[in-house]
Amino acid sequence: MNRTVLFVGVIIAAALVVILFVGLGKDPSAIHSPLIDKPAPEFSLREVGTNKTVDLTQYRGKPLIINFWATWCGPCWEEHPSLVASARQLQPDVQFLGVVFQDKEEKILGFLNQRGTAYPTVVDEKGKTAIAYGVGGVPESYFLDAKGTIRAKFVGPMNGDIIQENLQKVLRQ
């Protein structure tokens, strides 16, 4: 009986080790977006500092990177220079759009005046757009092809290499 218990115990332990080994290197909080390879949810939002309405459909025809962010988000401060530099380098072939939610307009304008910008930023005042995209936190970025289909999503702060890597997923389509 002791050998049977030992044998069963060893099999269970080996199975647990295999399960843990397979899971190594995977982010347990990462959730695959069901929006990948689907049309991006439509929205019309007000551009920060103006009364101009920006509609997602006006970005058809060229790839678009939509970056959800907020001024209170530390990682957003970290990634902002990379987004501005990439936008300056890649425009007009690739378009960029910032979407800010859960923030105050005066803080957004102060952030952009201090840190610079190279693309439009809109305000998601009620958070409905963030909800439609399944944004769980900021920063989060979506990479759309020229037809408005989401081809990639990245959670967390991006640098130039990450932007290029995800942009390649759009350009391969």
What's the CATH code of the domain at 80? 3.40.30.10
Q: What is the DSSP letter of 42?
A: P
Q: How many domains is the chain partitioned into structurally? A: 1
| Residue 140 included in any domain | yes
Query: What is the span of the domain harbouring residue 148?
Result: 35-171
Q: Compute φ and ψ for 54, nearest 5 degrees.
A: -105, 125
Entry pTM: 0.82
| Residue 8 included in any domain | no
Amino acid 46 reads R
Pairing of strands 140-144, 53-55: unpaired
| Residue 105 included in any domain | yes
Q: Is the pLDDT of residue 26 over 90?
A: no
pLDDT digits 0-9 by tens, 141-150: 999 999 999 9
pLDDT digits 0-9 by tens, 81-92: 999 999 999 999
| Residue 133 included in any domain | yes
| Residue 112 included in any domain | yes
Q: Rounded to whole angstroms, what are the CA distances from 162 to 27, 141, 143, 166?
A: 17, 11, 11, 6
| Residue 26 included in any domain | no
Contact 153, 93 (CB under 8 A): no
Looking at the chain, the whole-number percentage of residues with pLDDT higher than 70 is 92
Q: Is 125 exposed, middle or buried (0-12, 13-18, 19+ CB in 10 A)?
A: middle
Omega of the bond prior to 92 within 30 degrees of 0, cis? yes
| Residue 144 included in any domain | yes
d(CA 79, CA 27): 20
| Residue 6 included in any domain | no
Which of 66, 61, 68 lies closest to 152, judged by CA?
A: 66
